Amino acid sequence: MTDPKPDHVAEPPPVAREEQIPEGRALPVPTAGGTVLLYRWEGEIRAFRNVCPHVGTPLDLVPGRVFTTDGRHLICATHGALFDPATGLCTAGPCRGRSLKAVPIRRAGGQVWLEATD
């Protein structure tokens, strides 16, 4: 005999509170599918997998340090590829025209959840 199906599946906890997500700096969030970078860009919270589309390395050598010194782009520490923080599109470097993989988020009550990480 099998166990009956539960009425509901427990929702995973939020990954961050909105006030923890800085403007122009990334908050790395470890997940089973790899690290996700959460940051606020022009007031909007964004989430991208921490994987450069060029060779699959993490963007950061120091956790969360992915913005250029002028704060206008995300940068891959391996080969210097530059990414548009709003879209994840590579605008310069060896993966020009390719994009970081966006991770959908859900916001409610000042909390942030990752909807999918693979």
* Domains of the chain with bracketed CATH: 34-114 (2.102.10.10)
Average pLDDT of the residues in 85-101: 97
CB 95 within 8 A of CB 1: no
Cα 17 from Cα 86, distance rounded (Å): 20
Q: For residue 8, is pLDDT > 70?
A: no
Cα 48 from Cα 85, distance rounded (Å): 10
Burial degree of 101 (CB within 10 A; 0-12, 13-18, 19+)? middle
pLDDT digits (tens, 9 = 90+) for 16-26: 999 999 898 99
Provide the whole-model pTM: 0.88
pLDDT digits (tens, 9 = 90+) for 25-65: 999 999 999 999 999 999 999 999 999 999 999 999 899 89
pLDDT of residue 22: 86
Cα 59 from Cα 75, distance rounded (Å): 7
Map residue 38 onto helix, strand or coil. strand
